[in-house]
């Protein structure tokens, strides 16, 4: 039996993007569309369809885009100017650029990649007419470089009084093979699990005489599986990202012991996805509530600990340990080690949570209850989007990570390098 391979691909953007003024250069609401592409052998490929403000999909005249169907392509972002105005004000698009490295990278193994391309499709809407005026394809990937390919589109003539609509279409080239894909005669082995990439879009426009710049970073998340999955019925997926910043690599422990102050070391985000059905009205009525996912949307807990296994505690807690410390040979003293604490504070949300972890947290393996410590969220931002004719609910959380130690200015620790580890667990119960 042939193995069936699926890639689920979905994207979200920072919700704060939607706080911009309605007359500004803005990403369209359709950006929130979740994307899905089927890699199965012999299956119908997903065609690129244009998206509009209503969230509806519309077939595209593929001939106008280059003469052939754009298979395995999907829109990942829309850019629109002059949104929200009934009459088209003076809106002059100056430039648009999209930057990306052209590879999905396995979250588990950075050697494993899956190439993608970006197709830039721009449309000018004037008086209701839709005109596909441009298509640019860039491919990523250079030898031993950390590619940052980009498409830069400048508009020297600054056409005004039009409504611009730009799709950035993600294309997955190549021929699927068992446990991999062949692209341009290079075989890319693939492993099961999650993949991620990032697209950065910068657009500049002059709207009503003032220059406006839109800066969007779109994290892309993908999943590669080796078993058949019926997309519409696949519930409750969790994606989690932990990004550590510069501070996390060169903390001054002496200063931390003197002050006890919190030091910002990174951020944490996660998203729970739940596929539902098509009978929930329209996308225009999409909810933006704050609520705990219902039991039918999956029961998840997310928490931090110093144990690599979520169901057993590490009674030592979070600890900075000196480079020369040898487990089993040395014992912890206030000369060679010190406990630290991680505080997670929700950002970008008025219903903010703030939880401090000491690293001894763990969860009961039979009930899913926290045996020690606190789970990270109770209320998550919730919204729904339309994908493949069905609605999907998302619950999202973003928070910043801070670190501190109990202040003890009198402590004289051994000079040298100290190292600590933090585990972020998602459990389902």
Partner 1 sequence: MTDMKRVLMILLIFIFTSSIFAASNVQTKRVAVQAGVGEVLYVSIVPIAAQSSSFVVGMPFSVDDSVVKYDYPRTGRQIASWSLLSNSDFEVAVHAPVLKNITNASSSTELPYYLCFTYELSYYKQGDLIPSIESSAFVIRSENNNDGESIPSAYGSFSDKVYNSTVTSNATDSEYLSLISDVSYSNRYVGTLDGGIYFKFASNADTDNADVGEYEATVEIMVRSKA
Q: Pick from 256, 236, 287: which is nearest to 408 by CA?
A: 256
**Torsion of Cα atoms, 366 then 368 then 371 then 374, to 10°:** 170
By CB under 8 A, name the one of 233, 254, 334, 352 that touches partner 1. 254
Q: Which stretch binds partner 1 (CB under 8 A): 43-51, 89-97, 249-257, 278-286?
A: 249-257
User: Does residue 330 contact residue 319 with C-beta atoms inside 8 Å?
Assistant: no
End-to-end CA gap in the chain: 33
69 vs 248 by CB, closer to partner 1: 248
User: Does residue 242 contact residue 215 with C-beta atoms inside 8 Å?
Assistant: no
Least distance in Å: CB of 192 to partner 1?
6
1 vs 246 by CB, closer to partner 1: 246
Instruction: Residue count of the chain, please give it.
Output: 429
Q: Does 41 bind partner 1 (CB under 8 A)?
A: no
List binders of partner 1 among 126-155 (CB under 8 A). 141-144, 146
C-alpha of 317 from chain center: 29
55 vs 180 by CB, closer to partner 1: 180
Classified as helix, coil or strand, 133 is strand
Least distance in Å: CB of 37 to partner 1?
19
By CB under 8 A, name the one of 247, 299, 347, 374 that touches partner 1. 247
Q: Does 248 bind partner 1 (CB under 8 A)?
A: yes
By CB under 8 A, name the one of 81, 256, 376, 380 that touches partner 1. 256
List binders of partner 1 among 172-191 (CB under 8 A). 179, 186-189, 191
Residue 290: beta bridge partners? 381
Q: Does 417 bind partner 1 (CB under 8 A)?
A: yes
Least distance in Å: CB of 133 to partner 1?
32
250 vs 366 by CB, closer to partner 1: 250
User: Does residue 149 contact residue 138 with C-beta atoms inside 8 Å?
Assistant: yes
Kindly state the tokens that stand for 215.
């800066």
369 vs 428 by CB, closer to partner 1: 428
CA distances from 190 to 10, 180, 228, 403 (A): 18, 5, 16, 36
By CB under 8 A, name the one of 28, 74, 218, 265 that touches partner 1. 265
- The residues, any chain, with a CB within 8 Å of residue 360's CB and separated by 6 or more, are 305, 306, 313, 314, 315, 316, 317, 372, 373
Q: Does 355 bind partner 1 (CB under 8 A)?
A: no
CA pair distance 319, 255, nearest whole angstrom? 16
65 vs 403 by CB, closer to partner 1: 403
Hunting for tokens 């390098």 — which residue is that?
417
Q: Pick from 403, 85, 370: which is nearest to 259 by CA?
A: 403
Q: Does 54 bind partner 1 (CB under 8 A)?
A: no
C-alpha of 280 from chain center: 25
CA pair distance 89, 85, nearest whole angstrom? 7
Least distance in Å: CB of 265 to partner 1?
6
Least distance in Å: CB of 309 to partner 1?
8
CA pair distance 342, 304, nearest whole angstrom? 8
List binders of partner 1 among 86-115 (CB under 8 A). 103, 107-113, 115
CA pair distance 183, 111, nearest whole angstrom? 16
Q: Does 245 bind partner 1 (CB under 8 A)?
A: yes
Least distance in Å: CB of 46 to partner 1?
24
The site that binds partner 1 (CB under 8 A) totals a number of residues, namely: 64
User: Does residue 206 contact residue 1 with C-beta atoms inside 8 Å?
Assistant: no
Q: Does 19 bind partner 1 (CB under 8 A)?
A: no
Q: Does 403 bind partner 1 (CB under 8 A)?
A: yes
Q: In what helix (H) or strand (E) does residue 193 lie, and over which residues does it extend?
A: strand 193-207
CA pair distance 85, 92, nearest whole angstrom? 14
Site string for partner 1, 223-242 (x = CB under 8 A): ---x-----------x-x-x
Q: Does 259 bind partner 1 (CB under 8 A)?
A: no
91 vs 268 by CB, closer to partner 1: 268
**Chain positions contacting partner 1, by CB under 8 A:** 103, 107-113, 115, 141-144, 146, 179, 186-189, 191-194, 226, 238, 240, 242, 244-256, 265-266, 308, 310, 320, 323, 340, 403, 413-428
């Amino acid at each position: 039996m042939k193995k069936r391979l699926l890639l689920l691909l979905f994207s979200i953007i920072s919700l704060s993007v939607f706080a911009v003024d309605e007359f500004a250069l803005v990403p369209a609401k359709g950006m929130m569309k979740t994307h899905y592409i089927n890699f199965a052998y012999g299956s119908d490929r997903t065609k690129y369809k244009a998206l509009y403000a209503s969230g509806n999909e519309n077939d595209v005249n593929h001939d106008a885009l280059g003469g052939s169907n754009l298979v395995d392509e999907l829109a990942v972002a829309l850019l629109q100017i002059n949104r929200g105005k009934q009459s088209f004000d003076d809106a002059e698009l100056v430039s648009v650029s999209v930057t990306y490295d052209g590879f999905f990278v396995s979250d588990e193994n950075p050697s494993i990649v899956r190439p993608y391309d970006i197709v830039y499709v721009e449309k000018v809407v004037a008086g209701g007419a839709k005109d596909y005026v441009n298509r640019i394809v860039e491919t990523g990937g250079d030898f031993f470089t950390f590619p940052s390919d980009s498409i830069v589109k400048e508009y020297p003539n600054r056409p005004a009084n039009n409504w611009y609509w730009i799709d950035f279409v993600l294309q997955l080239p190549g021929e699927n093979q068992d446990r991999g894909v062949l692209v341009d005669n290079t075989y890319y082995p693939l492993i099961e699990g999650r993949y991620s990439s990032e697209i950065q879009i910068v657009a500049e426009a002059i709207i009503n005489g003032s220059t406006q710049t839109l800066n969007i970073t779109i994290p892309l998340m993908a999943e590669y599986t080796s078993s058949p999955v019926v997309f519409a019925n696949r519930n409750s997926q969790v994606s989690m990202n932990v990004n550590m910043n510069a501070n996390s690599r060169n903390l001054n422990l002496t200063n931390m012991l003197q002050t006890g102050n919190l030091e910002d070391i990174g951020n944490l985000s996660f998203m729970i996805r739940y596929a539902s059905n098509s009978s929930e009205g329209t996308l225009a009525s999409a909810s933006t509530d704050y609520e705990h996912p219902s039991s039918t949307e999956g029961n998840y807990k997310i928490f931090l600990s110093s144990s690599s296994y979520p169901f057993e505690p590490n009674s030592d807690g979070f600890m900075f340990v000196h480079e020369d410390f040898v487990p089993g040979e040395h014992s912890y003293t206030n000369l060679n080690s010190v406990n630290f604490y991680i505080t997670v504070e929700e950002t970008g949300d008025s219903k903010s949570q703030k939880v401090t972890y000491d690293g001894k947290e763990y969860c009961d393996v039979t009930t899913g209850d926290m045996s020690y410590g606190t789970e990270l969220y109770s209320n998550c931002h919730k919204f729904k989007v339309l994908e493949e004719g069905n609605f999907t609910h998302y619950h999202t959380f973003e928070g910043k990570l801070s670190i501190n130690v109990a202040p003890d200015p009198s402590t004289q620790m051994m000079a040298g390098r100290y190292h600590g580890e933090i585990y972020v667990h998602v459990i389902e119960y």
